[in-house]
Structure 1
Amino acid sequence: MRIGLIGVGRIGSLHAQTLHDLEIVESVFLADADVARAHETADKLGIAAAGSVAELFASRPDGVVIAAATQAHAELVHLAAAAGVPAFCEKPLASDLAGTHETLATVAAAGIPLQMGFQRRFDAGYAAAREALAAGELGRLHAVWACTLDPAPPHASYIPASGGIFADCSVHDIDAVRWVTGHEVVEVMATGANRGADFFAEAGDVDTANALMTLDDGTLVALAASRYNGSGYDVRLELHGSQRTVIAGLDERLPAGSAEPGVTWPGGPAYANFAERFSEAYVAELRAFVDVAAGRIESPCRGEDALAALCVAHACERSRREGRSVRVEEIAQEVPPQ
């Protein structure tokens, strides 16, 4: 398999190394808007770099991994569809719902496989929690708690185009809740606060947010997000059942400490960033994509999953801004499928 990779920034460089190390990938071909950066990354790995995205597609790769800037995702997926090349795309598929619908229609018309980059579906803890729930080990699920707590905020220039904390950060939790529980979010009530850098408020965003979400079976989900978790990168999903509770992300590297005297667990070191926390998941999701591109399996995370999660994130954002409960169908019906 020959895989193209577009975008060699922070996540793209990680994917480049992962693809290079996968034994089922014969070769990797890189492209980036910054051609010099593409060649620099390629030289470090001993792989090839293209002078442009057009050159990459002209080389007829067996699949393409899209890890470019958010605003370029939709256009690049359109190019993959036009070339008939199976695509893996980091979230979001497009920055808005209309663009997401349009891109999904293009993908469907072209008939190419599309896999979205929600790596938590490939994390061992999340998968085990899903299996335990499906097997009935938890009894009746009565509450879910999900969090993404970043150790430090991104650069100020990133925030205005990020889509807001729910679409940028919590969308991973939203997808994980849908995937693990097998249920859809139907209503949300959200709030947020700014007690950190001014650039969040200046962009109309918040640095800390919470949402109470209701699933279609009545289960309550509490969601938390923050850009200022100084202890480290804390990402967890808790499932509380009538018979048992299980928690994904509860291990020795949990970025938290007990206030109880004499308790030394967890022992650390704490997870510093997403690359450490989900290192194995990133490998597993790209291994799965190679199988998708080869036609061996169906996409384990479709574009429609990205659309569903984005609708919930937008509902949370509207709820935060307007101070009211928002039903997800209110968002979804505003931009009907094409």
Structure 2
Amino acid sequence: MRIGLAGVGRIGAFHASTLAGLDAVDDVIVADLDSALAERVATEQGLSAASDIDTLLASGIDALVIATATTAHAPLLRQALAAGIPTFCEKPVAASLDETIALTELAESSDTPVHIGFQRRFDLGYLRARDAVAAGDLGTIHAVRALTHDQEPPHAAYIPTSGGIFRDCSVHDFDIVRFVTGREVDSVYATGENKGAAFFAAAGDVDTGAAILTLDDGTLVTATSTRYSGGGHDVRMEVMGSAANLAVGLDDSLALRSAEEGVAFPAGPPHASFMQRFLAAYRAELTAFCDVAAGRIASPCTVRDALQAFRTAEACELSRAQRRLVSMREIPNASAAPAGSSSSSSPTPATKATA
């Protein structure tokens, strides 16, 4: 299988290396608006390079991975759908809700599969949590705690185009809450504050956010995010039920220390980045995409799935700005999926954790 990769920045170069190591992949062809960067990455990793992205799309590739800047996601996905090329697209699908809705409806009217990059769906801890919820092992789920705490903030130039902490950071939590619980978000209340660098406030953003989500069965979810987790990169989930509780990310890499005497856990070291934390999940995710592109499985994370997470983030930003509870019925949604569509807008019970 020949895989085209558009965009070779930090995550793109990381994906290039991962793809090159997969048994199903015979060749990886990379392209970037910076052709010199594409050539350098190709040389360093023993890959092929196309002179530009249009040439890449016309080169007879079997599938495409989009890892460009966010502004290029939507037009590239449209081109790929028009050409019938199975596509993996990093989140977000588009920079705006309107464009994400339009792409959801376009993708669902096409026979070409699209897989959106929410790698936590392929992390064994989250998969096991989903299995436990689906099997009823935890009893009635009454509360979930989800968090994404980055060890240090991104470069100041990234923030004005990031979409804000809920769309850029917490959106992963919003997706994985749907995935693990099998429920939809009904309403949100969100807030945020700045105690760090001035460039967050200058961009209208916050460096720390918190949201309370009420799911459609009454389950309460707290989701927190920050750009300043000095103890290490910290991504976790706790699922509390009437019969048992379960935690994801509770191992020796935990970026948290106990204040209790004589407690040595966790042994460390903590993770320093999301790529380190989810290394195995990224490999499993791209392995699954090869199966999607080959027609062996349906997309495990559709454009509609990405839309639902984006809608929740949109509701959080509205709530933060207006300091009020926001119903998800206030947030526009795509029209119903056509009959026979592979959309998974209504989460279903888990498959076994085999990723």
Q: Normalising by the residue count of structure 1, what TM-score does the alignment of the two structures yield? A: 0.98
Q: Which amino acid aligns with 2:189?
A: M
User: Alpha-carbon deviations, 1:248-296, whole Å to 9, x = none?
Assistant: 1111111111111111110111000011100000000000000000000
User: Alpha-carbon deviations, 1:294-320, whole Å to 9, x = none?
Assistant: 000000000000001100000011101
**Offset, 1:106:** 2.9
Q: Which amino acid aligns with 1:50?
A: A
**Offset, 1:79:** 1.0
Q: Could you tell me how far apart the structure 1 residues matched to 2:310 and 2:302 are?
A: 13
What does 1:109-258 correspond to in 2, within 5 Å?
Answer: 109-258=109-258
Q: Could you tell me how far apart the structure 2 residues matched to 1:38 and 1:283 are?
A: 21
Q: CA RMSD in A?
A: 1.2
- 2:322 is matched with 322
Q: Could you tell me how far apart the structure 1 residues matched to 2:187 and 2:38 are?
A: 43
- 1:284 is matched with 284
Structure 1, 190-199 or 96-105: larger mean CA deviation:
96-105
Q: Could you tell me how far apart the structure 1 residues matched to 2:335 and 2:160 are?
A: 26
Task: Say which SS state the counterpart of residue 187 (structure 2) adopts.
Answer: strand
- 2:274 is matched with 274
Asked if the contact 2:171/2:313 (under 8 Å) is kept, the reply is yes
**Offset, 1:97:** 1.2
- 1:75 is matched with 75
Q: Which amino acid aligns with 1:188?
A: V
Asked if the contact 2:127/2:180 (under 8 Å) is kept, the reply is yes
What does 1:20-39 correspond to in 2, within 5 Å?
Answer: 20-39=20-39
Q: Could you tell me how far apart the structure 2 residues matched to 1:5 and 1:265 are?
A: 41
**Offset, 1:108:** 3.1
**Offset, 1:336:** 6.2
- 1:6 is matched with 6
- 1:100 is matched with 100
Asked if the contact 1:101/1:337 (under 8 Å) is kept, the reply is no
Asked if the contact 1:74/1:103 (under 8 Å) is kept, the reply is yes
**Offset, 1:32:** 0.7
What does 1:12-91 correspond to in 2, within 5 Å?
Answer: 12-91=12-91
Q: Which runs of 5+ in 1 are unaligned?
A: none
Asked if the contact 2:39/2:49 (under 8 Å) is kept, the reply is yes
Task: Say which SS state the counterpart of residue 40 (structure 2) adopts.
Answer: helix
Q: Which amino acid aligns with 1:56?
A: L
**Offset, 1:24:** 1.0
2:255 equivalent to 1:294: no
Asked if the contact 1:233/1:274 (under 8 Å) is kept, the reply is yes
Asked if the contact 2:114/2:302 (under 8 Å) is kept, the reply is yes
Q: Could you tell me how far apart the structure 2 residues matched to 1:22 and 1:92 are?
A: 25
Q: Which amino acid aligns with 1:97?
A: L
Task: Say which SS state the counterpart of residue 232 (structure 1) adopts.
Answer: coil
How many residues align? The count is: 337
Q: Could you tell me how far apart the structure 2 residues matched to 1:291 and 1:23 are?
A: 12
Q: Which amino acid aligns with 2:199?
A: F
Q: Which runs of 5+ in 2 are unaligned?
A: 338-355
Q: Could you tell me how far apart the structure 2 residues matched to 1:101 and 1:243 are?
A: 39
Q: Could you tell me how far apart the structure 2 residues matched to 1:182 and 1:211 are?
A: 19
Asked if the contact 2:174/2:313 (under 8 Å) is kept, the reply is yes
Q: Could you tell me how far apart the structure 1 residues matched to 2:335 and 2:172 are?
A: 23
Q: Which amino acid aligns with 1:53?
A: I
Q: Could you tell me how far apart the structure 2 residues matched to 1:184 and 1:75 are?
A: 29
Asked if the contact 2:116/2:303 (under 8 Å) is kept, the reply is yes
Q: Which amino acid aligns with 2:261?
A: P
User: Alpha-carbon deviations, 1:105-138, whole Å to 9, x = none?
Assistant: 3323442100000000000000000001111110
Asked if the contact 1:174/1:312 (under 8 Å) is kept, the reply is yes
Q: Normalising by the residue count of structure 2, what TM-score does the alignment of the two structures yield? A: 0.93
Over the matched positions of the two proteins, sequence identity in percent amounts to 55
